């Protein structure tokens, strides 16, 4: 069943390993406490969109908004890769939001996700390109229908009128033509997906920055392994290196910046394209202008199970993948908590 409580034995094994590795799990100084806002927003592309929805539903008490670019509903895949590849990507007529809502309620009842009442005040941004052949446009309305079970329709924005292929749509001069399908899955469409989603989730409207306002020195690599639950990348499905964009103003104590988590899509991880997604997806300039820290966690490939380095939205890390017990959800949540720690007097040295 969805996000069922895993056995006591399995929990004991996981947390025994975690305790044994406690010394190696100390927060790397390149991911310092910044005292960012306790209310978080998330977004993602493709597998990252499914992951963003999973994180939102799991941690809705502190996650107040989500943006999905080419993604679908929570628990869409039902812990089954075949359902993921078919219904959730190219056969949306087989997605049943009401049934997924039932599973969601069951997960809440056993405390695998936060109480669903939190979603009454959430904001949801949903984007699907008109020419998307990977996650077809019909999936987006199913996501909207799912969220409307919990979120007022006035708080759900759906964008379906941009002629993009499967990609992060940008207006920053970087990327492939809008109708192109392929790496790095960032396409120039004259539509600033990062700005439009951030502004909707964090509005009143944000300052619309020029691309040149982003500062490369503010995009910091950090060691993700210190946050791993098991300590083993091959079990986490995550790479050792992650990125965080820390605007200049957010590097000062008492800056009170906000935090947004951006999940890349399949074949966009650092191990394949370095910082291309983190630097070029369009978030950083607006983050610099509006005081928003952007966390870019990084997934990693697992041969046979996850050859394209996707986020887990079908169960390759275990049956609890979609909820707060899920390994990747738990790892990213630990990163969020680290950034929310009070600023240290050593912050300048750490940065």
Q: Which residues contact 85 (CB under 8 A, 6 or more apart)?
A: none
Active-site pick, 47, 112, 144, 166: 166
Active-site pick, 28, 37, 43, 46: 46
Number of other residues whose CB lies within 10 A of the CB of residue 351 = 16
Rounded Cα gap, residues 62 and 69, in angstroms? 21
Helix axes 139-147, 97-109, angle to 10 degrees: 40
- For 281-298, letters b (16+ CB in 10 Å) and e give bbbbbbbbbbbbbbbbbb
Burial class of residue 241 in the structure, from the number of CB atoms within 10 Å of its CB (0-12 exposed, 13-18 middle, 19+ buried)? middle
- Please say whether the beta carbons of 194 and 281 come within 8 A: yes
Q: Which residues contact 98 (CB under 8 A, 6 or more apart)?
A: 149
Helix (H, G, I), strand (E, B) or coil at 197: helix
| 56 a catalytic residue | no
| 132 a catalytic residue | yes
Active-site pick, 37, 114, 132, 192: 132
Rounded Cα gap, residues 40 and 332, in angstroms? 12
Could you give the residue numbers annotated as active site?
Answer: 46, 132, 166
């Amino acid at each position: 069943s969805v996000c069922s409580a895993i056995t006591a034995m399995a929990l004991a094994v996981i947390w025994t390993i975690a305790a044994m590795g406690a010394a190696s799990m100390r927060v790397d100084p390149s991911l310092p406490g910044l005292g960012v806002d306790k209310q978080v927003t998330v977004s993602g592309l493709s597998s990252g969109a499914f992951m963003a929805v999973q994180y939102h539903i799991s941690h809705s008490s502190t996650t107040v908004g989500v943006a999905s670019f080419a993604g679908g509903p929570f628990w869409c895949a039902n812990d089954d890769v075949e359902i993921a590849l078919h219904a959730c990507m190219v056969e949306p007529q087989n997605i049943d939001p009401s049934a997924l809502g039932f599973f969601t309620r069951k997960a809440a009842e056993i405390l695998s996700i936060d109480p669903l009442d939190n979603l009454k005040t959430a904001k949801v941004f949903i984007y699907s390109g008109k020419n998307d052949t990977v996650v077809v446009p019909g999936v987006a309305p199913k996501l909207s229908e799912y969220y409307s079970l919990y979120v007022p329709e006035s708080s759900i924005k759906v964008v379906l009128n941009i002629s993009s292929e499967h990609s992060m749509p940008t207006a920053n001069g970087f990327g492939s033509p809008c109708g192109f399908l392929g790496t790095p899955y960032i396409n120039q469409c004259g539509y600033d997906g990062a700005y439009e989603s951030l502004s909707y989730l964090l509005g009143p409207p944000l300052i619309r920055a020029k691309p040149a306002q982003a500062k490369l020195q503010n995009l910091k690599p950090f060691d993700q392994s210190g946050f791993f639950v098991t300590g083993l990348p091959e079990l986490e499905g995550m790479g050792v290196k992650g990125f965080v964009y820390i605007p200049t103003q957010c590097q000062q104590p008492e800056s009170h910046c906000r935090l947004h988590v951006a999940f890349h899509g399949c074949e966009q991880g650092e191990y394949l394209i370095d910082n291309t997604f983190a630097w070029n997806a369009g978030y950083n300039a607006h983050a610099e202008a509006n005081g928003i820290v952007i966390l870019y966690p990084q997934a990693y490939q697992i041969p046979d199970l996850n050859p394209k380095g996707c986020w887990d939205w079908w169960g390759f890390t275990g049956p609890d993948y979609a909820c707060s017990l899920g390994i990747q959800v738990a790892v990213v949540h630990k990163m969020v908590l680290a950034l929310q720690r009070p600023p240290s007097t050593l912050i300048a040295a750490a940065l």
